[in-house]
Amino acid sequence: MEDLLKGNPDLLFYISLIFSVIVIRLPFIGRYFRSVNTLLHESGHALMAILSSGEVLRIELSSDTSGVAVTRSRSGLKAFLVSASGYPFAAAVSVLLLAFSVKGMEVWVLYTLLSVALLNLVLFVRNTYGITWIVTFTAILLVLYWFENQTAIHLFTVTISLVSLSESVFSTLQVFYLGFASPKKSGDLNNMAKFSGVPAWFWGITILALVGIIVYMGISRYFPIPHLSHLTNRIEFVN
């Protein structure tokens, strides 16, 4: 079975895709692994705050996959950029992880996730669930790296990349809806509206379009086209 998967990378990819769809719908495990996207989202806020000469006070991760990044900025424009950065950053990093996975650079997925997790643990995350989640997720990454099973690493990295990418789409669609239906509950969009004076629904459309472009580029470039030659050869051999 392992030889079959190694010889059919497209098959392995789509097995991971199916598995990721199942994972995000499981009650506990789904929320656990969807938190990868939450970590990336809040890291996007933190990174923009640092790049704009602001300050990151703390990050909190919650068991329901929500998160909070508390930052301090020196101007309304910089605060606006911090608020705007979460969704596009999470989508872009998810595409980057997917690119590493399908190009045979799976170890860089582990390096990237380990770096993001440990930096957040040391510098920003202070709530109990956030710390627990980062510690356990880091342990999973280290176990995979330690045992060096290439098939397991490939399956995990492709799956976690697809889970994060899917969650970036779903979370963007959710906040897009809130931008119209309940602007005051739309989180980042509400903040962007306050800082700019432009309605939240407008920023919902803008963020959705930007994330849509990022995700489309990732899908069109890194989703492999299945090749059935191996399967055909096996059928002919059996016949």
Q: What is the pTM of this model?
A: 0.88
Which residue has tokens 């911090």? 82
pLDDT band at 14 (very low <50, low <70, confident <90, very high): confident
pLDDT band at 227 (very low <50, low <70, confident <90, very high): low
**Looking at the predicted structure, is the pLDDT value of residue 75 above 80?**
yes
pLDDT score recorded for residue 7: 52
| Position 82 in a domain | yes
| Position 63 in a domain | yes
pLDDT score recorded for residue 237: 38
| Position 223 in a domain | no
| Position 229 in a domain | no
Number of domains the chain is built from = 1
**Looking at the predicted structure, is the pLDDT value of residue 11 above 80?**
no
Burial letters 1-33, b for 16+ CB under 10 A, else e: eeeeeeebeebbbeebeebbeebbeeeeebbbb
| Position 73 in a domain | yes
Task: Calculate mean pLDDT across residues 59-64.
Answer: 96
Domain that holds residue 107: 2-164
| Position 212 in a domain | no
| Position 193 in a domain | no
Q: What would the pLDDT profile of 121-152 be if each residue is shown by its tens digit?
A: 999 999 999 999 999 999 999 999 999 898 89
Q: What is the CA radius of gyration of the chain?
A: 19
pLDDT score recorded for residue 6: 52
